[in-house]
Amino acid sequence: MEKFILLVDTVTAWIGKAFAWCIMVMAFGIGYEVFVRYVLRDPTSWAFDISYMMYGALFMMSGAYTLSRDGHVRGDVLYRLWKPKIQAIIEFILYFLFFFPGVIALIIAGWDYAGESWSYNNGRGEVSVMSPANVPIFQFKSIIPIAGFLLFIQGIAQVCRCIICMRTGKWPPHLEDVEEMELALQHAHDYGLGDEGDNGDKGDKT
């Protein structure tokens, strides 16, 4: 079970980091649009489409990665006060009551939505109506069921985490590759105070 969790976490992390590059494409597109619009007075007809497609792809494909890092917003006013085993039991129940039904609905609806987009315009695919550039968007809509499938697989891994915690009373560790700036600063501050304390103790001993 732990090997399965590690495998799923690794796959979703790789996909999430790969799609993180969408932010660079979006930033370049918007920056270029600002330059040509206000400096050259010649705005593009595709920048808006690129920006929302890149942001949408980043948002959708990072969902499973964020779930694997326990990074989604949680109303933890009461949750954080419970013991890990109670947390695991509650999460286990809620995954089957709300998470999996919602994700399955997303996969089914997204599959139909993407299929219609691919068959649009006599099989040539749907294009954007937001600009005259006719930017293809059928491939973008294919991300919806793919993201839903990744969330489903990651959800299974999260359920496995709940089972382990219910058995052992401890949550299995998450893979860590990023840290909130506030926590990083706090750790640096604590480390600095620890050094000062050590130096002070040594000074007293001498």
Identify the CA nearest to 91 among candidates 165, 10, 198. Answer: 165
Q: Name the residue ranges covered by the structural domains of the chain.
A: 2-176
Residue reference for tokens 């105070």: 193
How confident is the model at residue 95, as a pLDDT?
A: 96
- How far CA 76 is from CA of 80, 82, 103, 110, 151, in Å, comes to 5, 10, 22, 30, 21
DSSP 132: T
What are the helix (H) ranges across 124-179?
138-141, 143-168
Phi, psi of 127 (to 5 degrees): -120, 160
Helix and strand totals (H; E) in the chain: 9, 0
In this structure, what token pair is assigned to residue 146?
């793919």
The percentage of the chain sitting over the pLDDT mark of 90, rounded to a whole number, equals 57
The proportion of the chain whose per-residue pLDDT surpasses 70, expressed as a percent, equals 87
* Residue 118: Cβ-neighbour burial (10 angstroms; 0-12, 13-18, 19+): middle
Residue 31, burial from CB neighbour count under 10 angstroms (0-12, 13-18, 19+): exposed
Q: Report the alpha-carbon distance of residue 136 to residue 121 in Å, rounded.
A: 11
pLDDT, tens only, 123-176: 788 888 887 888 888 989 999 999 999 999 999 999 999 999 999 999 998 777
Tens digit of each residue's pLDDT (9 = 90 or more) over 23-78: 999 999 999 999 999 999 888 888 888 898 999 999 999 999 999 988 888 777 78
- Which tokens in the block code for residue 84? 């890990």
Pair of tokens at residue 14: 């790789």
* Angle, helices 143-168/100-123, rounded to nearest 10 degrees: 170
User: Could you tell me which residues are beta bridge partners of residue 127?
Assistant: 136
Nearest-angstrom CA–CA distance, 119 and 138: 9
